[in-house]
Structure 1
C-alpha cells in the first residue's frame, strides 16, 4: 500500500507518494488553481489521476491545507486559498474519487510528519512550530494528532505575546486576526523582518538581518536578542501547559542554526521548573514535512476533527 500526500499552497500544489517505510516514490508540483472552486477541484483530481496512471498499487490520500476544517460542518475556513472557504472539500473529493480522503491543517501535517519519522520521532508528545510567513503549530501525542471542538489545536501564534511590555517589546503590533500583539507578529519570519525594518528604516530580508547579526552589527544583534527572548516566553507558556517531550521548529527561520544554541537557556528562565528537559530541535524534512505528514494522515489520524 502506498500513501499519497498533497500539500495545497497559495501558489502551488505538491504531491508525494510514500510507501509504508516512508520511502519517496514520486514527487510532483503544479500551480494551484484559485479562480474557482470547480477549477481547483478539476486541477487537483487531474493530479491524482496522473499519479494513479504511474503505479498499479492502491494508495491512501491525505491533504494538508492552510486553513481549518470545521469539525461540525466539515466546511473549510480561514484558508488563504479563498475559493476553498465554505466548501466541503473532503466530502466532494470522496464522492468524485470513490475513496476516503483525509484533510488537516498544514501545520498539523508538519507536526505529524516530524513526529512519525522526523526530528520528533521517538518522543511521546511533540509540539510542532512553524516560524515562516506565519506562526502555526500542531500537537501530536503518541502518534496521534490532537484535535478539539474548535479545530484550533496548536494555534499558539494567535495567543498574546506573554508579558508584553511596550518598554521592552516596542509599540503594539496589530494582527490580521483583529487582535494586538499576537505571538505571530513578533516571532514569525514576517514579524521578525517587519519590526526590524520599521525600527531601522530598512527594507531588508530576514537572511540579510541574520547575516548582520553574524557580522556583529549592533542593531541587528539587539533585534535578534529580543526575538530570542520573545520566542522563549512564547514557548515557555506552551511548555507550562503541555510539557511536550520535544519541540520541532520549521519554517524559514528554522534554518538559523544559532537559534538552537541560544533559545533553550532563555526558555529555561521562564518555565515553571528548575531545568528544561524538552528537546528543541530543527525539523528533519524542512519544507517537505507538510506534504509527508499529509501522506501519513489516513494511517495515523482519527477521522474525528478532520
Structure 2
C-alpha cells in the first residue's frame, strides 16, 4: 500500500493506494505554505491516519519542479518547501521512504496507466492550464530528464510571429521565466486572455471566451483560431521529437472537448506520422490525476 499525496498551493489531498485504480481518499487539508514544521506535521497526520505498514512508502505529487538528481524542489507557490530536498527531509520526519515528483509528471503517469494513455508505449501529457507544461512516460516509466525538466515545452522563444490568421503579424510577449515569446505566454488560459485582449482590446477570462466561441461569437472565434495555430505548431514538433502514441491534455483547457478536438485537427496534418484517429485528446483523469500518479511512483518503487 502507498500513502499518496497531491499537494498544491492551497490544498493537500491524501489517499491510500493499493493500485492505480484503487484509491481510498483520506483527507483534504489546507497547505501550510510558510511553515515547514506545520507542513510536515500535516503530512505526518495523514500518514498516521492511513495506517499503512511501517515499511510502505509515501509518494507525493507537488506543484513546482523536482530535480531527480539532487532532490531539490523549486516551488514558488509553497515557500516553505522551496529549495529543500523534500523527499529526504520528510523521509527523516516520517521514518519512511518518500518519493516526490512534480504534478505534470504525475499527471502523465496517471494518464499512461489508468487514463487515455493505456495501451500506448509512449505518452506525452500536455498541460494547458494556468500555464503550459508536460511530461513523458515511456514503457510505463516516467522520464524526468536532467533537472526534472523533460516535457516542459512551454518555454523557449518558439511562438510564431507570422500567422495564417489575423493579425498575421504578432509580437512576442514577455514570459515570467524571463524570456520573450514562450508558448506559456499564449498557449493556456492566461494566453487565450492575452490574445483576446491583443486582438479586440477586450478583457475577458478564458472561460467566458471559450463559452462565447462555442456559441459562435466571431470575436472569440478569431481568438481561438489564433491560439490553436500558435499551439499546434510547437506541439506537432514535440510529437515528431518524442513519438507519442497519444497526447492527453490536462489543465483547465483540457476540459473543453471542442477546443482539444480543434487542436488535434490542427496538429495531425503537421506531423510526419499520418493518423486516421485522434492523437491529441482530453485527459480522462482530472480530479484524482495527482493522487493516481503519486501512487504509481510508489508502486514502481516497491515492484520487484
Give the TM-score, by structure 2 length.
Answer: 0.90
Q: 1:84 aligns with which of 76, 81, 84?
A: 81
Which region of structure 1 is more displaced relative to structure 2, 184-193 or 18-27?
18-27
Q: Is the 8 A contact 1:130 1:136 kept in 2?
A: yes
| CA distance 1:42–1:238, change in 2 (3 Å) | same
What is the distance in 2 between the residues matched to 1:162 and 1:172?
A: 7
Cα drift, residue 249 of structure 1: 0.5
Aligned residue runs from structure 1 range 105-184, under 5 A: 105-165=102-162, 168=168, 170-184=170-184
Match of 1:285 in 2: 285
Q: Is the 8 A contact 1:243 1:278 kept in 2?
A: no
Q: 1:61 aligns with which of 42, 58, 61?
A: 58
- What SS class does the counterpart of residue 19 from structure 2 fall into? coil
Q: Is the 8 A contact 2:59 2:294 kept in 1?
A: yes
Q: Larger relative contact order (C-alpha < 8 A, sep ≥ 6)?
A: 1
Considering only aligned residues, what root-mean-square deviation do their CA atoms show, in Å?
2.2
Match of 2:28 in 1: 29
Q: Which runs of 4+ in 1 moved over 4 A?
A: 55-59, 273-278
What is the distance in 2 between the residues matched to 1:105 and 1:82?
A: 15
Match of 1:294 in 2: 294
Match of 1:17 in 2: 16
Cα deviations by residue, 1:228-275 (Å, 9 ceiling, x for unpaired): 112211210101111111101011011111124322231133223455
Match of 2:226 in 1: 226
Which region of structure 1 is more displaced relative to structure 2, 99-108 or 224-233?
224-233
Q: Is the 8 A contact 2:110 2:290 kept in 1?
A: yes
- What SS class does the counterpart of residue 238 from structure 1 fall into? helix
Q: Is the 8 A contact 2:26 2:49 kept in 1?
A: no
Match of 2:235 in 1: 235
Match of 2:92 in 1: 95
| CA distance 1:220–1:144, change in 2 (3 Å) | same
What is the distance in 2 between the residues matched to 1:180 and 1:18?
A: 42
Give the TM-score, by structure 1 length.
Answer: 0.90
Cα deviations by residue, 1:162-186 (Å, 9 ceiling, x for unpaired): 5433853622211000001111111
| CA distance 1:169–1:88, change in 2 (3 Å) | farther
| CA distance 1:128–1:169, change in 2 (3 Å) | farther
Structure 1 unaligned segments of length 5 or more: list them: none
Q: Is the 8 A contact 1:247 1:278 kept in 2?
A: no
What is the distance in 2 between the residues matched to 1:162 and 1:199?
A: 16
Cα deviations by residue, 1:158-207 (Å, 9 ceiling, x for unpaired): 13335433853622211000001111111111211233134333332222
Q: Is the 8 A contact 1:7 1:14 kept in 2?
A: yes
